[in-house]
Chains A and B, each alone.
Chain A
Amino acid sequence: MTQTDFDVVICGGGLAGLSLALQLRQEQPVNGVDPILRVGVVERTARPLPPACHKVGESTVEMGAYYFDRMLGLGESLRERHLPKNGLRFFCGPGTEPLARRSEIGPVEFPIVPSYQIDRGRFETELRERCEDAGVTLLEGWTVDTIDLSDCDDTPHRVHLRHLCATGQSSATAPPDSSSSATWHTRWVVDASGRRRLLHKQLDLRRPSAQTASAAWFRVAERVRVDELVPQDEKPWHSRDIDGTRWLSTVHLMGPGYWVWLIPLADDFTSIGIVADAAHHDFREFNTEARARRWLATHEPALAERMDAVATEDFRVMHDFSYLTERAFSKHRWACVGEAALFADPLYSPGSDFLGLSNSIAARLILDDMRGALDEEIVNQLNDVLVRSGENFVEVVREAGVTFPHGSIFGAKTWWDFFHYWTFLAPYFIQGIYRLDAAEHRRFLELGSTYRALNSSAQRVLTAWATLKSSSPPRGSETPHAQPAGRPFIPLPMFPSILAERHVELAKPATPDEVYAKMVDDVELSHQFIQELVVHALSDLPPEHAAQFGQQSGLAAGDVRIDRDRFVVESQSRRTRLASTPRIGRDLERAVGRTRSGELPLLDRLDRALDTSQRATPTIEQPQSSGTLTHL
């Protein structure tokens, strides 16, 4: 190849770009690449970065936490300088209800597998220093204008840079010729420019996402704690939080078609955001600070009232934020990582998961190439993993808004979503399956496709259940101020349970064969789980909705594996029933409670749902827009 300035140039020195630079330098010796990899990072902003800088994406979950903590070795710093995260915590039900009356879903104890609330300004400052210490060339105050990609193995890519400002730049990071523009020649180019998406735009890689939601968020200079929203005399609600650590969770206040996050940041800052589905909430209702405060006053009045006395440090919005990608990795030596690749949705805080996954795939491919061993087949397989994982996550969130107000339905959904995440993608990443050769990796790709089909099926069942529930009049005992149906508190995960076991197993090293065998077993459990979702849905919905549920859930079309015996035992005594219920069914029942099917036995409801000749009852309105949901 013609002489290059760098082996890898990373466009963008935010969380994704900096951690990839560090990862490349750290993983290099393991991969036996010699001589030392030359890594350059181009970043617009110059230090000093303010702590608690206003970047959304503070909350990590298992994969992202594993990536920063164990893979990059930043655990000590995370524990000392950032907040440990008490899992994800959800409060379901209309926000106009008192918070103590809404179903709470979350961990009972601090999760054993750690995750963190990251202060982005502080974390990125540390990453910049670590990158420089590791020998990465970090060019601050510069931007990438264009990238000339080479499709020939002998010719380097050319990255054209422009100087933005003269301040805050140390001599150590001065550009090669100190002029206002420069060109770097590099073997690999990585787009880590976040939502600027340099390569996405240049190569027209963007694929629309079926998720159409928008977000608005505030950063405030004080702690806004969820427990401040509940009066002190709500004893059971406060007693449940034995250690007073509820506020360290990423708190979600869930209502029809929306959720509001509360994330504590270091130095007593709090991030508060609104995420709302366009099918339920018009973006113009919350796209300015004043409107967002009014929106909160309508939908989450207790929080709005608490925020009345709080001044906003920053306010940002993001309209229609979701996008996917055609391709993130190419044999022509380019890659897109973090949000420059895709961003599906912030629900469940998956941003750092996709960041860790895309970075680790990029690092593997780059180091393969530097050893002269880049295999086109594995490039395509790993590209498929990332692209399909993004699509699969859109399936998780696309219709989720209809489940948000219903504690037991959203409780069942979180159980499924966590189970699905902890049985496929999380072990895939944490156990390093993406490092395998193409021949060994292929079977995981096939399994991934099975898992995605299962996820689609589960989401259809959940959506049909919630949609029909939203259109059903409440049962006799339910008045607007009654305790929500189902459990007031749903432990996530509950101990002991299969879900809790899968969570703990994430931290235990396993061989690829062991991981594969476990994933195959969990396909079976996934089928059982989906059947349990059907059991709960059919028990919960009025019998006249059974046929319509069958149509909407895919049950009538034969998309769900059904064992009729499971539906027969449902009408027997508890002990008999438990003896023949799969363990995962008992777990789910313990978590979200049991709805008795009352006047019509469950098996009869199942038959109604499976009967393809029976048309959906015409009297039931097809709920599909905000119209039906606003009645809640």
Chain B
Amino acid sequence: MTREEIYSEVVQILADSFELDAASIKLDSTLYEDLDLDSIDAVDIFVQLRDLTGRRPDPEVAKQIRTVDELVTFVENEIAAAERGDPEPQPQMPPGAGT
């Protein structure tokens, strides 16, 4: 996935989820001020981004993200990490749940 494609997916998710005009979403838009999102919206974004990244986000990294540009970079890094097979935060899972 190219950075352009990621950007357009991210814009699509933001526009669909939060009733925003896609044209008003720019790379330098801030999530909490310009787009008027709140912390619950942020949680929901990261659930939806799993469809793109196939990874469980690190909440500490996710918390630092402030702009659309940073969100795109985050997805880009996550996809690269998935391809490298980097370790990711462990889920809470009962023992014996392996495949």
A495:B91 contact, CB within 8 angstroms: no
Residue of A nearest to B55 (CB): A242
CA of A389 to CA of B66 in the docked complex: distance in angstroms? Answer: 49
B50:A84 contact, CB within 8 angstroms: no
B interface size (C-beta, 8 A) = 24
B96:A110 contact, CB within 8 angstroms: no
Chain A: minimal CB distance from B39 (Å): 9
A83 cross-chain contacts in B, Cβ below 8 A: 96-97
CA of A110 to CA of B95 in the docked complex: distance in angstroms? Answer: 11
B47:A112 contact, CB within 8 angstroms: no
B51:A489 contact, CB within 8 angstroms: yes
Flag whether B94 is at the interface (Cβ < 8 A).
yes
Flag whether A23 is at the interface (Cβ < 8 A).
no
B51 cross-chain contacts in A, Cβ below 8 A: 236-237, 239-240, 489
A79 cross-chain contacts in B, Cβ below 8 A: 94-96
Q: Which of B72-99 contact A (CB under 8 A)?
A: 88, 91-97, 99
A618 cross-chain contacts in B, Cβ below 8 A: none
A574:B99 contact, CB within 8 angstroms: no
CA of A83 to CA of B50 in the docked complex: distance in angstroms? Answer: 25
A112:B97 contact, CB within 8 angstroms: no
CA of A79 to CA of B48 in the docked complex: distance in angstroms? Answer: 31
Flag whether A31 is at the interface (Cβ < 8 A).
no
A70 cross-chain contacts in B, Cβ below 8 A: none
Contacts A242-B55, A574-B19 given; does A590 touch B96 at CB 8 Å = no
One digit per residue, 1 when the CB lies within 8 angstroms of any chain B CB and 0 when it does not, for chain A 460-500 equals 00000000000000000000000000000101001110000
Contacts A574-B19, A586-B40 given; does A236 touch B52 at CB 8 Å = yes
B94:A84 contact, CB within 8 angstroms: yes
Flag whether A316 is at the interface (Cβ < 8 A).
no
One digit per residue, 1 when the CB lies within 8 angstroms of any chain B CB and 0 when it does not, for chain A 536-572 equals 0000000000000000000000000000000000000
CA of A575 to CA of B95 in the docked complex: distance in angstroms? Answer: 42
Flag whether A230 is at the interface (Cβ < 8 A).
no
Q: Which of A46-89 contact B (CB under 8 A)?
A: 79-80, 83-84, 86
Flag whether A400 is at the interface (Cβ < 8 A).
no
Say which residue of A239, A247, A248 sits within 8 Å of B52 (CB atoms): A239
Flag whether A522 is at the interface (Cβ < 8 A).
no
Say which residue of B19, B44, B54, B97 sits within 8 Å of A248 (CB atoms): B97
B97:A238 contact, CB within 8 angstroms: no
Pick the most buried of A83, A84, A239: most chain B CB atoms within 10 A of its CB. A239
Say which residue of A245, A247, A590 sits within 8 Å of B40 (CB atoms): A590
CA of A243 to CA of B94 in the docked complex: distance in angstroms? Answer: 13
Flag whether A346 is at the interface (Cβ < 8 A).
no
Flag whether A108 is at the interface (Cβ < 8 A).
yes
4 other A-B residue contacts (CB within 8 Å) besides A242-B54, A244-B99, A574-B19: A110-B94, A243-B99, A247-B99, A496-B43
A-binding residues in B (CB < 8 A): 18-19, 36, 40, 43-44, 47-48, 50-56, 88, 91-97, 99
User: Top 6 closest A-B pairs, CB basis?
Assistant: A239-B54, A236-B51, A110-B93, A84-B94, A84-B97, A574-B19
B-binding residues in A (CB < 8 A): 79-80, 83-84, 86, 108-110, 112, 114, 235-240, 242-245, 247-248, 489, 491, 494-496, 574-575, 586, 590, 594
6 contacts between A and B (CB under 8 A): A84-B96, A237-B51, A245-B93, A247-B99, A494-B44, A496-B43
